[in-house]
Structure 1
């Protein structure tokens, strides 16, 4: 919650206006089509999805509501984080980046200024290092 609604928000504080509006969508009003209990929220920390669901109360009476907050991280940022964690040599890092972005080996050779055979060599080294046998498995290992 603090990431989505600012560092000043804290447990026990009043709910942010966006969450209140989301919770109001769970209460149907007569003659009005209900809005889905889902909304997007953007701020300086990024883009978030908020989803509200009704829950069964723990003691069997009353109502409870759950609010799921999901932060959306751009694919490029996830890729860079995954590659940084692997601590690959520079050429393998660069090759893994372009492979994950979907470039062909000839396009990668052109971008990196090396021969196609060198790209194939570095790709094989990268796959061996990560225990992957093809590009889709590489993407899976990178968490994409």
Structure 2
């Protein structure tokens, strides 16, 4: 007997074909239910207020109200009940920082594969954050552009000697854009163990989310805009 409630999703994109594609793909899954569609940020905010979905899949660039402002409003009014997953393209990377500041839990490229889309929806709906590896690299590049000298970041780089070897390894994998599932596979440990490592390294370093891990890893020279490190 199925006892778990499906993940309730709204999809917002001003391009009808793109929006329909995401809706049709998500609707094939038993554990995901698309409860609404929006063609702009204003409609997305109204839908979220009326339906209280688990997740809002939002295009960053939309008319009337863009995805960033929509995410900010939805997350504020939802009081933690709704998560935001942003759709982006390579030429919109300058908005990534703003979306993170608005509280978005992750990013997907518009040309994402079906398995990547499903994984992202499930990961974010479960309360985790994720950044696609390609987006993570560009986030680092954008951060480097804004802070070319390093050491003047929004976050001060904390010392890492308080981390265990496993926590340090998890930190590097997060900074490279891996999800919890991918980390479990890479390190051959359980999902619960990964979550424990993440919670501990966040606590020890005083970090809020994966995006801050990326920034700190860049500050410390552990990863670079080229994706190496």
Measured against the shorter chain, the TM-score band is 0.3 to 0.5
Bigger CA radius of gyration: 1
TM-score by length of 1: 0.40
Higher helix share: 2
